[in-house]
Structure 1
Amino acid sequence: MPKNAPKYRPSVCIDAVFGTISSVEAIDQVAAAGIKAFEFWGWWDKDLDAIEAARDRHGMQIAACCTKFISLVDPATRDDYLAGLAESIRVAKRLKCPTLISQVGDFRPGVDRRAQHDCLVIGLRQASKLLADSGVTLVIEPLNELIDHRGYFLVRSDEAFEVIDQVESEHVKVVFDIYHQQISEGHVITNLRNNIDKIGHFHAAGNPGRNELTRGELNYPQIFSAIGETNYGGYVGLEYWPTKDAVTGLREVAGWFGQ
């Protein structure tokens, strides 16, 4: 594990780790674990005033939240996606949140896969115009379809990185979810090292089970050391479902980040 505090920082996904309590209570618990940043999924179902107040009370940062879940692989929904993104950018700026996480939608049966890929690229190119000068980065997320997201379009990181190359915007990157990519393809360290400049956010959970990072087959101290050897200075979102006291589990992992 890193001996000195790395450039990258931990963030706690409060919806996953503390899903049974209020957002404010969850933020209090993250602070109690000694971690200085948090993230969440949808902003539209949250009391943003209360979240901002809790953030400021603890001197914390909001690392990421999601834009609206509208398909990018269907041209018929592109305008709705862009309208939702514009609204999400305004919220992100209000929250001083640097990153918006985007799913891309499910595979459309009967439609050529390459056509859907191209539709995704076109939509993200248009999205990049909304992101320009906003201070916000949009990150698209590959998800595993074997266990958690059957039917989802974007599964492998190599296709996600190809999309980023085609979009050609510094405002659009990938959220590399280590749990999902271990299931979908493995080779986690090699893939993140070779594409680190296209990664704008990480997610992490143990596999199997999507529980604490200390459980399962993934050697997170080694993975984090590999990230630390790159120029990555963003967040690693801890997005898992705890099997024990959540604060205790977070404190165990916080030490890996020099927290």
Structure 2
Amino acid sequence: MKFSVCIDSVFRNMNLSEALSHVKSSGFDAFEFWNWRHKDINLMASEMKRLELSLSTFCTDGGNLVDEESHKEYLQGLKEAIIVAKRLGCGTLITQTGNELSGIPRERQIENVLTGLRLAAPIAEEAGVTLLLEPLNTTVDHPGYLLTRSSEAFELIEQVGSNYVKVLFDIYHQQISEGNLISSMLSNLPSIGHLHAAGCPGRNELQFGEIHYANVIQALRNAGYSNYFGLEFMPSAEPTLGLDYVRNLMDAS
């Protein structure tokens, strides 16, 4: 299992060079972020080389999957994100579905997501980049979002039928939406391309809240999970508090 630090959450008050330097000095070799259009890609490439850092993933931008009329814009945004990903040596991209549309049956909207993913799959496959579909919670953080449950995401991925379209299982979001975390992950491990983690409730450091992350990480290790485990928490104190906790878990296993 590899670990990645989300600089837009953990180091959200720092500039890019500061954030990446802190990732490295905290003992991690990989990072991720949210929207590439708000980043200095030239500076990022330079800092990655200087610090010997890898980029695990970031988000696509443009259009959405839930609206069929938006698919052309979505696919263009995907192609643009792939160009950035290839330049930075990044092998995965995060996609969200978008919010529910009023006046349209939910089943139709899910079908739109499936259609969009089927259109995106050959683009991702040709580029050698894996697309990560992310369910989010609507109770606390993302009211109105279409896809909330991992079970529905795994169903969609199965119907797409591409090794280049997988699920981003966000442990924090899924604790709110459905619980049963370890069982859900282990029974669908081949379909998980990336993990996100934060304490719940609060989305703070992993050691705070109701999720026993030591058990979660050990279960994933025992099951042979080898992709990235992304740290996407909002620090309640100095960021090193949460990162040191994860480092201790890494060293103990």
Tell me the TM-score normalised to structure 1 length.
0.95
- Aligned twin of 1:81: 74
1:123-155 Cα shifts (integer Å, max 9, x gaps): 101101101132211001000000000000000
1:37 equivalent in alignment to 2:30: yes
Q: Tell me, yes or no, if the aligned pair for 1:70 and 1:104 is still in contact at 8 Å.
A: no
Q: Tell me, yes or no, if the aligned pair for 1:205 and 1:238 is still in contact at 8 Å.
A: yes
1:201 equivalent in alignment to 2:194: yes
Greater fraction of residues in helix: 2
Give the distance between the partners of 1:257 and 1:79, measured in 2 at CA. Answer: 42
- Aligned twin of 1:102: 95
Give the distance between the partners of 2:80 and 2:133, measured in 1 at CA. Answer: 17
**Mapping of 1:102-181 within 5 angstroms?**
102-181=95-174
Deviation at 1:223, TM superposition (A): 0.4
* 4+ long deviations beyond 2 Å: none
Q: Tell me, yes or no, if the aligned pair for 1:206 and 1:214 is still in contact at 8 Å.
A: yes
Deviation at 1:86, TM superposition (A): 0.6
**CA root-mean-square deviation:** 1.1
Q: Which amino acid aligns with 2:109?
A: Q
Deviation at 1:59, TM superposition (A): 1.1
Unmatched 5+ stretches in structure 2: none
Deviation at 1:108, TM superposition (A): 1.0
Tell me which moved more, 198-207 or 56-65.
56-65
Give the distance between the partners of 1:229 and 1:133, measured in 2 at CA. Answer: 32
Structure possessing the higher relative contact order (Cα contacts under 8 Å, 6 or more residues apart): 1
**Residue 243 of structure 1 is aligned with which of 232, 236, 243?**
236
**Residue 68 of structure 1 is aligned with which of 56, 61, 70?**
61
Tell me the TM-score normalised to structure 2 length.
0.97
Q: Which amino acid aligns with 2:128?
A: G
1:234 equivalent in alignment to 2:224: no
Partner-residue secondary structure (3-state), 1:180:
helix
1:220-259 Cα shifts (integer Å, max 9, x gaps): 0100111112232110110011011112421221222239
Give the distance between the partners of 1:70 and 1:245, measured in 2 at CA. Answer: 36
1:103-125 Cα shifts (integer Å, max 9, x gaps): 11001121111111111111101
Q: Which amino acid aligns with 2:96?
A: Q
1:45-67 Cα shifts (integer Å, max 9, x gaps): 10111111111111110011110
Partner-residue secondary structure (3-state), 2:138:
coil
Give the distance between the partners of 2:172 and 2:117, measured in 1 at CA. Answer: 25
Partner-residue secondary structure (3-state), 1:126:
helix
Tell me which moved more, 63-72 or 152-161.
63-72
Identity %: 45
1:181-211 Cα shifts (integer Å, max 9, x gaps): 0000000000000101110000000001000
Give the distance between the partners of 2:141 and 2:242, measured in 1 at CA. Answer: 23
Q: How many residues align?
A: 252
